[in-house]
Structure 1
Amino acid sequence: MQLKKNLAIAAVFLSASAAQAEDAAIVLGKSIYDEHCTICHGDDGKGGGQLGDLLPESPPDLTKISERSEGSFPIVRTYKVIVGGVAIPAHGGAGMPVWGRYFIADALKAEGASMVEAEQQAAGRVLSVVYYLESIQD
């Protein structure tokens, strides 16, 4: 059943224009960001979340990622940070929670997906957040 749902979603994305697909990914990314990231990074992405003061270092301003990367948004690096493969000082190593593993576990548990389906869903969720972060750059 989940495979049919994923194929239907893929068909919608493929039939839509590139701009529509990107807009849908950004909307999904914002939803995921609002649910999982605002607690530390704040509603506006500037680092003013409720738990920010409890971290070893303040969460960075996510609207300045491109600025910190010489004006170009680093899609792959941002993806790796979210998944959990890059050490970030404010997170005490690479442990921002490791969202890649969380999203995989969520798909396995909540949706009964196979490991391959869960990994694909997790990758899509993380990539949507990356697109959203790219869209909020100052």
Structure 2
Amino acid sequence: MYRLIVPALLTLTACAPESPASGRMLFADKCVVCHGTTGRGDGPLAAQLDPAPADLTKIAERRGGVWPQLEVMGIVDGYSKRYLPGSDMPIYDEFVSGPLVSFDTGNGLRSRTPAPLFGIARYLETLQDPAPTRRVP
């Protein structure tokens, strides 16, 4: 019986709404068309966009090796775009809806955020090349 339960629990954990695996699925569904399958900004529509889509694999490198979790979530959720227009990046309501998850914002306090938004940010962190040397909220 345990041979059935443990794999099932591992599968559920890997597909949890806030997991990098769920973020990978959202990325494939919404972001690949512009950012490409590897996140380097070379998707099928990239050549038609001005400015060109960002290379998402270099977010941490552009910040001296630091992974900026909240900054990334703020870009992905479209909050800043509503007030600072200037890119063709669409706002996806799916990223800011659904169940909420709690995460440490870096100051010892826990904050609740939509699981899809947190999942896609966690997935983008896995794309970093080179990997981040430290993280900030």
Instruction: Give the TM interval when normalised to the shorter protein.
Output: 0.5 to 0.7
State yes or no: 1:39 paired with 2:33: yes
Structure 1 runs (4+) greater than 6 angstroms displaced:
none
Q: Which runs of 5+ in 2 are unaligned?
A: 1-8, 102-112, 130-137
Query: Which position in structure 2 is the counterpart of 1:136?
Result: 127
Q: Which of 48, 51, 54 is the equivalent residue of 1:54? A: 48
Quick check: 2:49–2:88 contact (8 Å CA) kept in 1?
A: no
Give 1 or 2: higher helix fraction.
1
SS in 2 for 1:39: helix
Counting aligned pairs with the same residue, the percent is 29
Structure 1, unmatched stretches of 5+, are 1-11, 108-117
Q: Hey, which of these two has a bigger chunk of strand by percent?
A: 2
TM-score, normalised via structure 2 length: 0.64
- Residue of structure 1 equivalent to 2:91: 98
Q: 2:65 matched to which residue of 1?
A: 71
> Residue by residue, what CA displacement relative to the aligned partner does 1:79-110 show, whole Å, maximum 9, x if unpaired?
000000234xxxx62652112x3445xx6xxx
Where relative contact order (Cα < 8 A, 6+ residues apart) is larger, the structure is: 2
Aligned residues: 105
Q: Distance in 2 between matches of 1:27 and 1:39?
A: 19
Counterpart residue type for residue 89 of structure 2: M
Aligned to 2:3: none
Q: Show the counterpart of 1:124.
A: 115
